[in-house]
Amino acid sequence: MTFHGTTVIAVRREGQLAMGGDGQVTMGNTVMKGRAKKVRKIYEGKILVGFAGGTADAFTLLDRFEGKVKEYGGDITRAAVELAKDWRTDRVLRRLEAMLLVADMEKTLLISGTGDVIEPDEGVIAIGSGGLFGKEKNEATQTHYKFLPIATSDFIFAYTVERFGFWGAFGLIGLYAFLIIHLMTLNFKLKEDYFAQVITSGFSLLIFFYMSIN
């Protein structure tokens, strides 16, 4: 049995930091618990850590991150980078399915199993879990509770992942990759038509950049 958490959000404003979670733990489509503590304090209360995804996996990563923080004297950026590196390359850790949101009074970072460490430009960031196959529309916390300001445009990927889960996100990325590869293939085939090359390469780059950002 795999247990999944749902949503954690961090907000930074005017020198103040707040992080909270919805407390919901589900098994499949069944809510098993509504008061789970998804946000923990570490390093003498100076750092907040929130998690979403497999509960056991998240706690394993939380312990590993806490060890990294102590090793690097409270430097969450260095600790996050080292954890992301281990998470991606270690044969055991890379099987873990979770995401971590970590923050101190200076920085907020999102850590994923793909090796990414992301610091948001704005003062708000949230993570969630749609599991393997996603959630029903009325169970999608990101949009149902309006955590995403504009779910149909700038935050479309977050909405897609929650609604259709890991496989839906994988399929969407695959479709975009297929489209980009197809356009680039056309670009190579149309060597004698400079205008067509400009159009195909331009569209492929445009799609790639929009996909990467969103």
The residues spanned by each domain of the chain are 4-129, 167-213
Beta bridge partners of 53: 98
Residue 108 annotated among the catalytic residues of the structure = no
The yes-or-no verdict on residue 132 having pLDDT over 60 is no
Mean pLDDT estimate for the chain: 78
Q: How far apart are CA 28 and CA 214, in angstroms?
A: 27
* More confident site: 41 or 164: 41
Specify the fold of 4-129: Glutamine Phosphoribosylpyrophosphate, subunit 1, domain 1 (3.60.20)
| pLDDT for the residue 83 | 93
| pLDDT for the residue 199 | 87
DSSP count for the chain of H helices, then E strands? 5, 11
pLDDT grade, residue 2 (50/70/90)?
very low
Residue found by looking up tokens 């103040």 in the block: 16
**Closest to 175 measured CA to CA, from 207, 137, 134, 136:** 207
Highest mean pLDDT among 36-50, 129-143, 144-158 belongs to 36-50
| pLDDT for the residue 195 | 85
Q: Which of 2, 6, 108, 185 is catalytic?
A: 6
Burial of 40 (0-12, 13-18, 19+ CB in 10 A): middle
**Closest to 100 measured CA to CA, from 115, 112, 116, 90:** 112
| pLDDT for the residue 67 | 94
pLDDT single digits (tens) 149-176? 555 555 566 667 767 776 777 788 888 8
| pLDDT for the residue 5 | 44
The pair of structure tokens assigned to 21 is 């979670």
CB of 24 closer than 8 Å to CB of 141 = yes
